[in-house]
């Protein structure tokens, strides 16, 4: 036991330097990463329109749920395998990496075929069988904070993945349950500098699930970057009013474009920056 904390391998005491690894040309943990895309993959037109837009913005990571953990069993549950196939196709056509949520251990080999980063959602942060299974893969895991979990429990969940052999963990603060009902969750931005003290792992923020309110996404994104986050995961939709899930918190495409300009300015005063200056990808028409 090297650390006084219950977690070991993910602790700063174990490893003082920041963990970094490269996905789709972005050195995560060193450069800022921006993941954007719809809450759920809905159809070809939607995912191709969004992926084309993301590539034009020089964004390198696309999110999109194919298996959706919905509070109600009557809500849209996702396109499942068909959604993963569609997203891979759209991502490949535009040079994007795919981030999608996996909910159960029996889908690991399917996801391994289609995604570049496994997303573990808030409801599965303590699905230890899933964490152990993902520890045996060689792709990064985006580990959301459980909505009722302490930072220590979250780091122990990360410890499951790292101790099983996969060091490529990205923590993601997505808001916690409090008495407040005006926002969907309470986005705990103090977790960013605290995690930076306690762990060497990269940490990003999800202001979409974190607030549930479209108008709050841009200010909380700015605050997250200012507080030292290593990136953001943001929901965006070509027609938010028609979205099959989380439309109220999804940005319009032009809002994301404006947000990138704002974030580029804020990031410039931090050590880390977004690489949105490189030439835009040429999309064949
Ligand atoms: C999502 O990203 O759409 C999602 C369901 O996230 P969370 O697990 O944070 O609720
Ligand atoms: Mn969502």
Least distant ligand from the CA of 35: 1
Question: Which residue is closest in CA terms to ligand 1's atom 4?
Answer: 121
**pLDDT exceeds 80 at position 278:** no
CA distance linking residue 192 with residue 194, whole number of Å: 5
Does ligand 1 lie within 6 Å of residue 100's CB atom?
no
1-10, 22-31, 81-90, 224-233: least confident range = 1-10
**pLDDT exceeds 50 at position 223:** yes
Strands 26-28 and 21-23: antiparallel
Is 192:203 a contact under the CB 8 Å cutoff?
Answer: yes
Does ligand 1 lie within 6 Å of residue 237's CB atom?
no
208 Cα–ligand 1 center, Å? 9
**Per-domain boundaries in the chain:** 30-277
Does ligand 1 lie within 6 Å of residue 11's CB atom?
no
Beta strands (DSSP E) in 14-96 are: 21-23, 26-28, 33-37, 61-63
Question: Confidence class of residue 1 from pLDDT cuts 50, 70 and 90?
Answer: low
Which residue do the tokens 């194919």 mark? 66
Mean pLDDT of 276-283: 50
**pLDDT exceeds 70 at position 226:** yes
Nearest alpha-carbon partner for 60 in 41, 36, 76, 79: 36
Question: Which residue is closest in CA terms to ligand 1's atom 10?
Answer: 122
**Which residues are bridge partners to 11 per DSSP?**
199
DSSP code, position 77: -
Does ligand 1 lie within 6 Å of residue 19's CB atom?
no
User: What are 55's two structure tokens?
Assistant: 């590539």
pLDDT (tens digit per residue) in 139-197: 999 999 999 999 999 999 999 999 999 999 999 999 999 999 999 999 999 999 999 99
Least distant ligand from the CA of 174: 1
Question: Confidence class of residue 61 from pLDDT cuts 50, 70 and 90?
Answer: very high
Does ligand 1 lie within 6 Å of residue 130's CB atom?
no
Mean pLDDT of 127-146: 98
What 3-state class would DSSP assign to 133?
A: helix
CA distance linking residue 36 with residue 21, whole number of Å: 19
pLDDT value of residue 273:
77
**pLDDT exceeds 50 at position 282:** no
Average pLDDT, the chain: 95
Q: Which CATH superfamily is domain 30-277 in?
A: Aldolase class I (3.20.20.70)
CA distance linking residue 161 with residue 142, whole number of Å: 11
**pLDDT exceeds 50 at position 280:** no
Instruction: Tell me the percentage of the chain whose pLDDT exceeds 70.
Output: 96
């Amino acid at each position: 036991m090297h650390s006084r904390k219950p977690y070991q391998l993910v602790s700063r005491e174990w490893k003082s330097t920041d963990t970094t690894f490269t996905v789709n040309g972005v050195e995560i943990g060193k450069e800022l990463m921006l993941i954007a895309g719809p809450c759920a993959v809905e159809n070809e037109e939607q995912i191709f329109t969004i992926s084309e837009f993301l590539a034009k913005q020089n964004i390198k990571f696309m999110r999109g749920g194919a298996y959706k953990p919905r509070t109600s069993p009557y809500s849209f549950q996702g396109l499942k395998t068909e959604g993963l196939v569609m997203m891979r196709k759209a991502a490949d056509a535009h040079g994007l990496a795919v981030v999608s949520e996996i909910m159960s251990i029996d889908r690991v080999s399917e996801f391994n075929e289609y995604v570049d980063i496994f997303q573990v959602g808030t409801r599965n942060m303590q699905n230890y069988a899933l964490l152990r299974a993902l520890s045996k893969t060689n792709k990064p895991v985006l580990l959301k904070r459980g909505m009722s979990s302490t930072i220590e429990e979250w780091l122990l969940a990360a410890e499951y993945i790292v101790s099983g052999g996969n060091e490529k963990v990205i923590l993601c603060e997505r808001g916690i349950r409090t008495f407040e009902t005006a926002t969907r969750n309470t986005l705990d931005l103090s977790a960013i500098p605290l995690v930076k003290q306690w762990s060497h792992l990269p940490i990003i923020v999800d202001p979409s699930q974190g607030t549930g309110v479209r108008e709050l996404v841009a200010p909380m994104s700015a605050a997250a970057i200012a507080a030292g986050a290593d990136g953001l995961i943001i929901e965006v939709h070509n027609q938010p009013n028609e979205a099959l899930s989380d439309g109220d918190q999804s940005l319009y495409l032009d809002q994301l474009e404006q947000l990138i300009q704002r974030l580029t300015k804020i990031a410039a005063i931090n050590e880390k920056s977004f690489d949105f200056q490189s030439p835009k990808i040429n999309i064949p028409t």
